Homo-oligomer: A and B are copies of this chain.
């Protein structure tokens, strides 16, 4: 009757030299709150699915992280959010792409999984489901943060001058969680605002089941953060499961291989959190840092950045 939970708040160019003690403490506190919300579900015997949605909802509500409130802006100054959930026993999944409105896009992804016959929805009809489900909807002011707006202006300025850095790690960020509940069921959830100054309509790996989000009780649950296009092309999350299933690798072997040997050399900066059916957790990344945390019925919560 054990449980485990791991979360991430994005990976990328997190330079220790640019991090103030106050800012670092705020990130740790945000991660700790997200762990606490998910653990509360698991400790009470709740579902892994509900735990990962609880954790991700807290990260979405926190403007420090690029999802929900605090989502980055597209090149035309809009916010377009993607989210997905997957449950490992049934392999049911829900995903939404390109929405702005639901306070917690991850909860809309869960509603799509639970209330429709579909896996992935885009556009206004997805918002209709949020309304029918009674999910909180917010206006643009809620999602706006000055920091993200300034980041867009800076990126657009550099782009206009032809000086936009190639490093995609500069521009990404995603939040996610994986959990194993006391029944042994796995789940994964991921949510993102995408990349600063992304093309409107661009969809990354987050809502692509098998790429940014995946769960299967026989192998593992995975939530990714990174250069989404590369994670899609290399089928990142499901490939970890495949290596466990067919090559009989451990979770850590499989996840390390994908992050360091497959993604890193193919411009796939980023990382992921993953959990196997025994509750083992791994959180590999190939970028300078990844906001992350882990808690289990055996060990108290810990959060990390570098």
Binding site for B on A (CB under 8 A): 86, 91-93, 97-98, 116-126, 198-204, 208-211, 214, 228-229, 232-235, 238-239, 242-243, 245-247, 266
Contact = CB atoms under 8 A, between A and B. Distances in A.
Main secondary structure of the interface of A (DSSP, over half): mixed
B208 A235 contact: no
A132 to B, nearest CB: 12
Nearest to A123: B201
Contacts of A245: 242, 246
B118 A229 contact: yes
Contact of A120 (B123, B202, B235, B242): B202
A204 B93 CA distance: 12
B124 A200 contact: yes
Contacts of A198: 118
A246 B123 CA distance: 38
Q: Which of A86, A92, A123, A214 has the most CB of B within 10 A?
A: A123
A274 to B, nearest CB: 16
B209 A233 contact: yes
Contacts of A266: 91
Given A122-B203, A126-B201, 15 more contacts: A91-B266, A92-B233, A93-B233, A98-B123, A118-B202, A118-B203, A121-B199, A121-B202, A125-B199, A125-B201, A125-B202, A208-B209, A209-B233, A235-B238, A239-B242
A33 to B, nearest CB: 31
A54 to B, nearest CB: 23
Contacts of A238: 210, 235, 238-239, 242
